[in-house]
Amino acid sequence: MVTAMLLAVLPAFGSGQQVVYTFTIADLGQGAWGGGSLRADGSATGNVPFSAENGQSIAHFQPVSWTQVDSDSVDICFVVRQIRGPPIFGSAFCLSDFGFVLDVTHTPIIVNLFGTEPTLLRVTPAN
Protein backbone atom coordinates (compact mmCIF):
# COMPACT_ATOMS: atom_id res chain seq x y z
CA MET A 1 0.00 0.00 0.00
CA VAL A 2 2.79 2.43 0.91
CA THR A 3 4.63 1.59 -2.32
CA ALA A 4 1.51 2.29 -4.38
CA MET A 5 1.03 5.64 -2.65
CA LEU A 6 4.70 6.54 -3.18
CA LEU A 7 4.52 5.64 -6.86
CA ALA A 8 1.43 7.80 -7.24
CA VAL A 9 3.21 10.77 -5.65
CA LEU A 10 6.57 10.47 -7.43
CA PRO A 11 5.32 11.62 -10.86
CA ALA A 12 4.17 14.88 -9.30
CA PHE A 13 7.72 15.51 -8.12
CA GLY A 14 9.43 14.02 -11.16
CA SER A 15 7.37 15.91 -13.73
CA GLY A 16 8.26 18.89 -11.67
CA GLN A 17 8.41 22.31 -12.83
CA GLN A 18 11.90 23.69 -12.82
CA VAL A 19 12.51 26.28 -10.12
CA VAL A 20 13.46 29.54 -11.82
CA TYR A 21 13.84 31.75 -8.74
CA THR A 22 13.65 31.54 -4.98
CA PHE A 23 12.34 34.34 -2.79
CA THR A 24 12.69 35.30 0.85
CA ILE A 25 11.05 37.93 3.00
CA ALA A 26 12.18 38.97 6.48
CA ASP A 27 10.50 41.84 8.26
CA LEU A 28 12.67 43.48 10.91
CA GLY A 29 9.65 44.15 13.13
CA GLN A 30 6.15 42.73 13.01
CA GLY A 31 5.18 41.60 9.55
CA ALA A 32 6.00 38.62 7.36
CA TRP A 33 8.83 36.09 7.32
CA GLY A 34 9.34 33.18 4.96
CA GLY A 35 9.99 32.34 1.37
CA GLY A 36 9.52 29.88 -1.42
CA SER A 37 10.16 28.99 -5.02
CA LEU A 38 8.95 30.42 -8.31
CA ARG A 39 8.53 27.70 -10.93
CA ALA A 40 8.84 27.74 -14.69
CA ASP A 41 5.09 27.19 -15.20
CA GLY A 42 4.23 30.42 -13.31
CA SER A 43 3.29 28.64 -10.08
CA ALA A 44 4.77 29.53 -6.72
CA THR A 45 5.22 27.54 -3.53
CA GLY A 46 6.30 28.45 -0.04
CA ASN A 47 5.29 29.57 3.40
CA VAL A 48 4.94 33.17 4.60
CA PRO A 49 3.41 33.73 8.07
CA PHE A 50 2.24 37.26 8.92
CA SER A 51 1.61 39.01 12.25
CA ALA A 52 0.51 42.58 13.02
CA GLU A 53 -0.96 44.65 15.86
CA ASN A 54 1.09 42.81 18.51
CA GLY A 55 -0.27 39.44 17.41
CA GLN A 56 -3.90 40.56 17.21
CA SER A 57 -3.88 39.92 13.45
CA ILE A 58 -2.28 36.69 12.25
CA ALA A 59 -2.45 35.35 8.71
CA HIS A 60 -0.74 32.95 6.37
CA PHE A 61 0.27 34.11 2.88
CA GLN A 62 0.38 31.19 0.45
CA PRO A 63 2.32 32.05 -2.72
CA VAL A 64 0.37 30.74 -5.70
CA SER A 65 1.70 32.39 -8.86
CA TRP A 66 4.24 34.80 -10.26
CA THR A 67 4.97 36.68 -13.48
CA GLN A 68 8.16 38.00 -15.01
CA VAL A 69 7.59 41.77 -15.28
CA ASP A 70 10.82 42.41 -17.17
CA SER A 71 14.25 40.79 -17.30
CA ASP A 72 15.13 42.16 -13.86
CA SER A 73 11.90 41.93 -11.81
CA VAL A 74 9.00 39.66 -10.85
CA ASP A 75 5.53 40.01 -9.33
CA ILE A 76 4.36 37.38 -6.83
CA CYS A 77 0.71 36.68 -5.98
CA PHE A 78 -0.60 35.18 -2.74
CA VAL A 79 -3.83 33.85 -1.27
CA VAL A 80 -4.43 34.82 2.34
CA ARG A 81 -5.76 32.60 5.11
CA GLN A 82 -6.73 34.78 8.05
CA ILE A 83 -6.07 33.01 11.35
CA ARG A 84 -6.83 35.71 13.91
CA GLY A 85 -8.22 39.24 13.87
CA PRO A 86 -9.69 41.35 11.11
CA PRO A 87 -8.40 40.82 7.56
CA ILE A 88 -5.78 43.37 6.55
CA PHE A 89 -5.06 42.15 3.02
CA GLY A 90 -8.32 40.57 1.84
CA SER A 91 -8.36 37.03 0.48
CA ALA A 92 -5.67 37.46 -2.20
CA PHE A 93 -3.15 39.99 -3.46
CA CYS A 94 -0.18 40.47 -5.74
CA LEU A 95 2.77 42.63 -4.76
CA SER A 96 2.01 44.88 -7.74
CA ASP A 97 -1.33 45.69 -6.05
CA PHE A 98 0.80 47.68 -3.59
CA GLY A 99 2.68 49.45 -6.34
CA PHE A 100 5.91 47.49 -6.53
CA VAL A 101 7.55 44.39 -7.96
CA LEU A 102 10.67 42.59 -6.77
CA ASP A 103 14.04 43.03 -8.42
CA VAL A 104 15.98 39.84 -9.10
CA THR A 105 19.24 40.18 -7.17
CA HIS A 106 21.59 38.10 -5.06
CA THR A 107 21.29 40.52 -2.15
CA PRO A 108 18.34 41.71 -0.04
CA ILE A 109 16.43 44.82 -1.04
CA ILE A 110 15.25 46.95 1.86
CA VAL A 111 11.69 48.33 1.64
CA ASN A 112 9.12 49.70 4.08
CA LEU A 113 6.39 47.16 3.43
CA PHE A 114 4.47 46.47 6.64
CA GLY A 115 4.93 49.54 8.80
CA THR A 116 7.73 51.45 10.39
CA GLU A 117 10.36 48.68 10.42
CA PRO A 118 12.18 47.80 7.18
CA THR A 119 11.57 44.56 5.35
CA LEU A 120 14.30 42.60 3.56
CA LEU A 121 13.21 41.03 0.27
CA ARG A 122 15.32 38.88 -2.02
CA VAL A 123 14.64 37.10 -5.30
CA THR A 124 17.53 34.95 -6.46
CA PRO A 125 17.93 32.95 -9.69
CA ALA A 126 17.84 29.24 -8.90
CA ASN A 127 20.72 28.30 -11.23
Show me where the domains of the chain are located. 20-125
User: What's the pLDDT score for residue 117?
Assistant: 79
Round to whole Å and give the CA distance between 105 and 85: 35
Half-sphere exposure of 36 (CA within 13 A, CB side): 19
pTM of the complete model: 0.81
Tell me which residues of the chain have a pLDDT lower than 70: 1-16, 113-116
User: What's the pLDDT score for residue 112?
Assistant: 77
Burial of 8 by CB count in 10 Å (0-12 exposed, 13-18 middle, 19+ buried)? exposed
User: What's the pLDDT score for residue 115?
Assistant: 63
Round to whole Å and give the CA distance between 72 and 27: 23
User: What's the pLDDT score for residue 2?
Assistant: 37
